[in-house]
Amino acid sequence: MKISKSTYPSPLGEISVFKIENASGASVELSSLGAGIISVSVPDRDGKIENVALSYANPADYIADGPCLGKIPGRYANRIAKGHLVVDGVTHRLAINNGPNALHGGPEGFMNRIWDAEELSNGVRFTYNAADGEENYPGNLTAVAEYRWSEDNVLTLNMSATTDKTTVVNLTNHAYFNLEGADAGSVLDHTMKINASAWLPTDDTLIPTGEIAPVEGTPMDFRKGKLIGADIKADFDALKFGKGYDNCWVNDGWEKGKMLGEVVVLKAPRSGRVLSVGSTQPGVQVYTGNWLAGSPLNNSGRSYEDYDGVAIEMQGFPDAPNQPGFPSQELRPGEKYSQTIRFAFSVK
């Protein structure tokens, strides 16, 4: 495995970008800004290697970008209703940065911080120390994101965290994929399968109602696989609220600590590329890039358009701290938060 490092200036300080290339020439690029995925370059059915993770031309443009492209949001990914958080009976008021709600840990969050980086034999370990009270979350929290790239084109992300005070944690990766190529245009012609029999309905601000509803008979049913765009314009509240899919599915067969090998399978019709995503997380938020327009310039010299990529975010449920019926995302001193996401790339 070959690892090279480049550095780039930014308003937050020096950004380190690591390229990890396997023997076949397939590679990933990872950034210390937000412990992010910059690129994933893998072959199509004809052997042509191309980046399939949406990316910007300038590594500094990832700072405070609306799409949170490729980065790890935190301390709590996704939404918390009205920024209202109670931990051990103490109320914490989080910043409101998404309609009436808190999103991705706040305006700065983990995604807009430069993480410490350490090279591994086949990857990179990123570490971020969040102070007690940062973004109004309790507890000094140490978060670790360890990426490893394999010879058979599997990117494994292990995320862990420890705290000195009871807090909440929900970590994921917010990469967007287009298996025809990062700058290829709409992803609505990709086929997607989600191994989930239930999903989480939301209000019009995308906060879960607390109900766990069956997907059967709705546009949320991807169990047999279908085009992402097949039902995206359907007369269905969830799709109107988000201008497309921006919803959390309940992963079939999930048990705490159990690795689910195949939760989501994404296939591109022309390149033949396939992405299979597995995880230890209870849910997957699928976001079809409904608000990508106006993003920073990509390597083609243009901004992305809406629906140019799909984010497959393995995570805990949104607003779980305010939903006692959801799996807890609470972390106490002496405990370790530990979750894995596995992105496996192949061709068919």
pLDDT in tens, 234-273: 999 999 999 999 999 999 999 999 999 999 999 999 999 9
Residue labelled with tokens 């287009």 = 178
Q: How confident is the model at residue 202 (pLDDT cuts 50, 70, 90)?
A: very high
pLDDT at 299: 94
pLDDT, residue 149, reads 98
Of 50, 135, 146, 174, catalytic: 174
What are 133-142's pLDDT values in tens digits? 999 999 999 9
- Residue 252: C-alpha distances to residues 10, 197, 245, 261, 263 (Å): 42, 6, 19, 11, 8
Q: How confident is the model at residue 115 (pLDDT cuts 50, 70, 90)?
A: very high
Tokens of 232: 């995206």
Spatial separation of the C-alpha atoms in residues 49 and 45, rounded to whole Å: 10
Confidence category of residue 230, pLDDT binned at 50, 70, 90: very high
pLDDT band for position 348 (cuts 50, 70, 90): very high
Q: Average pLDDT, whole number, for the chain?
A: 98
- The domain ranges of the chain are 2-347
Give the rounded distance of the alpha carbon of 242 from its chain centre.
17
Task: Report the candidate in 47, 46, 51 with the shortest Cα–Cα distance to residue 19.
Answer: 51
pLDDT score, position 121? 96
Tally the C-alpha atoms within 13 A of residue 222's C-alpha that lie toward its C-beta. Answer: 30
pLDDT at position 290 is 98
Mean pLDDT of 1-9: 98
Q: What is the pLDDT of residue 161?
A: 98
Tokens of 33: 């800004």
Domain 2-347 matching CATH 2.70.98.10: the answer reads yes
Count of C-beta atoms within a 10 Å radius of residue 282: 23
Q: What is the pLDDT of residues 302-331, one digit of tens each?
A: 999 999 999 999 999 999 999 999 999 999
Predicted TM-score (pTM) of the model is 0.97
Report the pLDDT value the prediction gives residue 286, as an integer from 0 to 100. 98
Mean pLDDT of all residues in 136-158: 98
- 313 tagged catalytic: yes
Starting at the edge strand found earlier in the chain, the sheet holding 2-8 runs 2-8, 15-21, 27-31, 36-43, 49-51
Q: What is the pLDDT of residue 100?
A: 98
The stretches of the chain forming alpha helices (DSSP H) are 237-242
Residue 296's nearest CA partner among 38, 78, 90, 122 is 38
pLDDT digits (tens, 9 = 90+) for 41-60: 999 999 999 999 999 999 99
Residue 85 backbone phi and psi in degrees, to 5: -135, 125
DSSP symbols for 26-57: -EEEEETBTTEEEEEEEE-TTS-EEE-B---S
Q: Which two tokens stand for residue 292?
A: 């990508």
Q: Per-residue pLDDT tens for 172-196?
A: 999 999 999 999 999 999 999 999 9
pLDDT bracket for residue 37 (50, 70, 90): very high
